[in-house]
Every structure is written in structure tokens, then in C-alpha cells.
Amino acid sequence: MRLLSWNIHKGIGGRDRRYSLARIIDCIEAENPDLVCLQEVDRLVRRSGFDDQPRLLARYFRCQGVFQANVHVGRGAYGNLVLSRWPVASRHRITLRLANRKPRGAQLLLVDSPEGPLHLVHTHLGLAERERRWQVDRLLDHALFRGADRHPTVIVGDFNDWRDALAPGTLADRGFAQVTSPVSRFRTFPAWLALGALDKAFVRGGVEVRHARVVRTSLAKAASDHLPLVIDFHLG
């Protein structure tokens, strides 16, 4: 099974500042993932031509789409999107907004994969370290998260964690292993000269990772300000 996680920057290129959802689609299609977790996805926002990106992407890939609008922009919004080839048995969204900070959130999906139920947690954390620590604690202590403890779990997304400070703390204490380690192999930002390993994945409970890598094609470097993360895994 293959998962792709990517902050698509609303489909706006990191260097040329040109909006092109087609470049995003081409990059995703080249990797042929079964699950796609995208951050900064626009819906009905001027800068992206008022495109309904969640609907367009779900229709193009013929997948089930689950969108979480976090930040409102005019009459539209942007947020997190999961695309799944497989049925989604349950879906929840929780807020991770700390007072006076930009709205953030997490999606909690139970996916009926061919190898059994998968608890997929998709998020985009804040810019300040204190904020991120609070967000991870809130996520892991939330009743909706704890209610799926018996299932194999993947937590993935843009963690904005430049110093890789979250992995050895609460996540490790709760039994999560970091997939995106060592960070020297998983630098994703900025796309054209990647220095920061901001896009991360953690697994627990029978998720067997076969391979994880960053997509460094010329198209990926142009399409967004982040590079995509790809993970091949099985459920043990």
C-alpha cells in the first residue's frame, strides 16, 4: 500500500508563484498512491481561480475525498484533504487551534484497506514550538483518537517541526515510531533547495513500513513550496 503526503501550497508554485492544479495532479499520478493526504488545499478561493480543489481532485482520481476546512478566505476556505481508493468507515475532524493562533485541525479516518482497518490521522501543525506541543498533546489525548487505539495508526502531515523536537517526546511516549528519520533523508522545504524536514510520518500498532522517500523530481520542485513524501507499507 502506498501513501503520499504533501503540502500543495494551494497549487501555487513556490518559485514561479504560478497557480497550476495540473502540476499537482501530474506529480500525484506519477506516484500512483492509494491514500493521498494534502495540506493547504483551496476551495472557492480567488487566488486559485475559485476552483473547488477537493471536488476536482477526488473526481480526477476517482477516489473518496474527505475535506477539512480550517482557514476561511473570503467566501471560500483552505485546509486538509484526504483522498482514498478504499472505503472510509468513519471520519472525524477535530480542531487544534490554540488561542490567538491560525486555525489548525486534524482528520481522523478509519479506512477499510485490503489488509484491514487503518486509523489514518492527517494534520497540519502550527508555526510555534509551544503551539505544536499543545496540538500533539490535544490530538493524542482526544477521545476520538483514543477510541481507535486498537487499530494500526499512521499520523502524517506538515508538522512544521524544524528541530524535530516532537518525535522523542509525547509521540515516542505513546508508542509511535518516526518513519521520516534520519531527517537528513527527509528534507522537504523549501522545495527548490530543501533544508527543513517539515513533512513527517509516525506509525504504531502493526504498521510495517517497507520504504519511505521524498519525491525530488523537477516537476515536484516547481509545483509547490514543499516536496511530497511517499510511504510504502503493510499492515502486520
Q: What are phi and psi of 57, to 5 degrees?
A: -70, -45
Domain that holds residue 54: 2-235
What pLDDT score does 49 carry? 97
Specify the pLDDT at position 109.
98
Rounded distance between C-alpha atoms, residue 159 and residue 132, angstroms: 8
What is the count of structural domains for the chain? 1
DSSP assignment letter at 19? B
Instruction: State mean pLDDT over 107-131.
Output: 98
Looking at the predicted structure, is the pLDDT value of residue 200 above 90? yes
What percent of the chain is modeled with pLDDT above 70?
A: 100
Q: 137-174, pLDDT tens digit by residue?
A: 999 999 999 999 999 999 999 999 999 999 998 899 99
pLDDT-derived band of residue 236, with 50, 70 and 90 as boundaries? confident
Confidence of residue 20 (pLDDT cuts 50, 70, 90): very high
Query: How do residues 62-99 score in pLDDT, each as one tens digit?
Result: 999 999 999 999 999 999 999 999 999 999 999 999 98
HEC sequence for 99-133: CCCCCCEEEEEEEEECCEEEEEEEEECCCCHHHHH
We report the CATH number of the domain holding residue 18 as 3.60.10.10
pLDDT in tens, 29-74: 999 999 999 999 999 999 999 999 999 999 999 999 999 999 999 9
Mean per-residue pLDDT of the chain: 97
Q: Are 177 and 204 in contact (CB under 8 A)?
A: yes
Residue 116: other Cβ atoms inside 10 A: 12
Please give the Cα distance from 188 to 200 (Å, whole number). 9
Amino acid at 96: L
